[in-house]
Amino acid sequence: METLSIKKGFEDEIFKVLKNRTEDDLIEIDESVKRIIARVRSEGDPALFDMTKEFDKVALGSLRVSEGDIKEAMEVVEDELLESLRLAAENIRTFHEKQVEKSWQYEKEDQVLLGQIITPLESVGIYVPGGKASYPSTVLMNAIPAKIANVARIVMVTPPDRQGKINPYVLAAAKIAGVDEIYKIGGAQAVAALGYGTETIKKVNKIVGPGNIFVARAKKYLYGLVDIDMIAGPSEICIIADDPEDVQLIAADLLSQAEHDEMAASMLITTSKELTASLKVELIKQLDALERKDIAQQAIKHHGLIIEVEDMESAFCVANKIAPEHLEIMLEDPMAYIPQIKNAGAVFLGRYSPEPLGDYFAGPNHTLPTSGTAAFASPLGVYDFLKRSSLIYYTEDALRKEKDDIIRIAEKEGLTAHANSIKVRFMNNEIKKEVDNDEKS
């Protein structure tokens, strides 16, 4: 794990040493993704069946998960886990209900009404990764905000196993979250099906959810045809801490992200050289006990970083420049540092608010901006499933008062048709007034 010392006033130096965790060469992947998208667009369902056989090694009889499959999953999943998923869902629901926006309007004056109409998206597609792991938490985090937003049609796609089945925990979470349709399809082809639609899968308005590089690139290429949540990079955590006594907690939290994949980044910012030394020893100790040791070890080796700074002001300056997905403040009185936090996807305060609490249970969304995008992006929320339309109403008298200003601006921009759109509304009235005046005289 690399150690870097940054002097006060030189916090920008962090940009020179941060590893570039994006793909070095996407040309081959992009060409493959574009071929997959084009094939799904032209062939529809047959392409999905063929590619599922090719990539997932299973010949499907149908794409859609049946009610019987869902019922079977609910019977298979342990009661204790079902209860845990329901409690997590309730926490997520309670948090996200506070994000609901309402339509509003106001009268600028008696004859002018302005406002904003909030409407939900009509349909949303959720991608849930499959393979060896199962991600019921991903289902809850993506589907529940969409449900709260009153999205009429929530569709989930996820790759099947070699027996053509979907993980029962994922199906149970989908049932709890209220997903409307579930399809056994994964990869870039699933994203293409959501974007263009096929004989079985109807097109959606937006695609959300994590996935591998093929899924991420497919979302990128379909943006504009549909909306997407974000193009997420590898997971990352940044911890600000200064007490060597917390080394066991810090190591455990850094490794909780490192086990995601070899590209995950785990970073500590500290004022304590003693903590730096003890952390390196503790990481080795805890790595040996991990089931995903090889993955976590590679992540820590290539993307782990300890950043030593002179004081806490510098620590938060560095953290804001990194703009991490997850930021843990493991300091005494962590609340006092909230004003110093400018850029982070999710912030975890104190020793008893570890990152996995946010991943699974607390309530705030775990779909977060990565790779520095927290400097301008936000976590997934109910607002991602709503759209806003402006509302404008003027009476004739109200428009008459402002018509000359509008015409003046339009003509200055050289858009005379815009100006004429205003003029014609009063042209006949002015002529009529002149005629009336002539008749009276």
**Residues 62-120: tens digit of each pLDDT:** 999 999 999 999 999 999 999 999 999 999 999 999 999 999 999 987 799 999 999 99
Residue 439 has pLDDT above 60, yes or no: no
Q: Residue 26: its pLDDT value, please?
A: 81
Residue 314 has pLDDT above 50, yes or no: yes
DSSP string, 364-418: S-S----TTGGGT-----GGGGEEEEEEEEE-HHHHHHHHHHHHHHHHHTT-HHH
Quickly state the pLDDT bin for 252 (edges 50, 70, 90).
very high
Quickly state the pLDDT bin for 25 (edges 50, 70, 90).
low
CATH code for the structural domain at 27-232+383-388: 3.40.50.1980
Q: Residue 348: its pLDDT value, please?
A: 98
CATH code for the structural domain at 2-22+234-363: 3.40.50.1980
Q: Residue 132: its pLDDT value, please?
A: 63
Q: Give tens-digit pLDDT for 353-388.
A: 999 999 999 999 999 999 999 999 999 999 999 999
Average pLDDT of span 140-163: 97
Is 351 in contact with 246 (CB distance < 8 Å)? yes
271: Cα within 13 Å, side-chain hemisphere:
12
d(CA 152, CA 230): 22
Q: Give tens-digit pLDDT for 219-244.
A: 999 999 999 999 888 899 999 999 99
Q: Give tens-digit pLDDT for 409-422.
A: 999 999 999 999 99
Q: What is the DSSP letter of 334?
A: G
Is 327 in contact with 344 (CB distance < 8 Å)? yes
Quickly state the pLDDT bin for 21 (edges 50, 70, 90).
very low
Average pLDDT of span 335-352: 97
Asked if domains 2-22+234-363 and 27-232+383-388 share a fold, the reply is yes
Catalytic residues: 325-326
Looking at per-residue pLDDT, the higher value among 429 and 12 belongs to: 12
Q: Residue 434: its pLDDT value, please?
A: 56
Asked whether the whole model's pTM tops 0.85, one would answer yes
Question: Alpha carbon 278 to chain centroid distance?
Answer: 35
- Average pLDDT of the chain is 93
* CA nearest to 188, candidates 210, 161, 231, 217: 217
Q: What percent of the chain has pLDDT over 90?
A: 86
Q: Residue 440: its pLDDT value, please?
A: 58
Quickly state the pLDDT bin for 333 (edges 50, 70, 90).
very high
d(CA 266, CA 247): 14
How is the chain split into domains, by residue range? Answer: 2-22+234-363, 27-232+383-388, 395-440
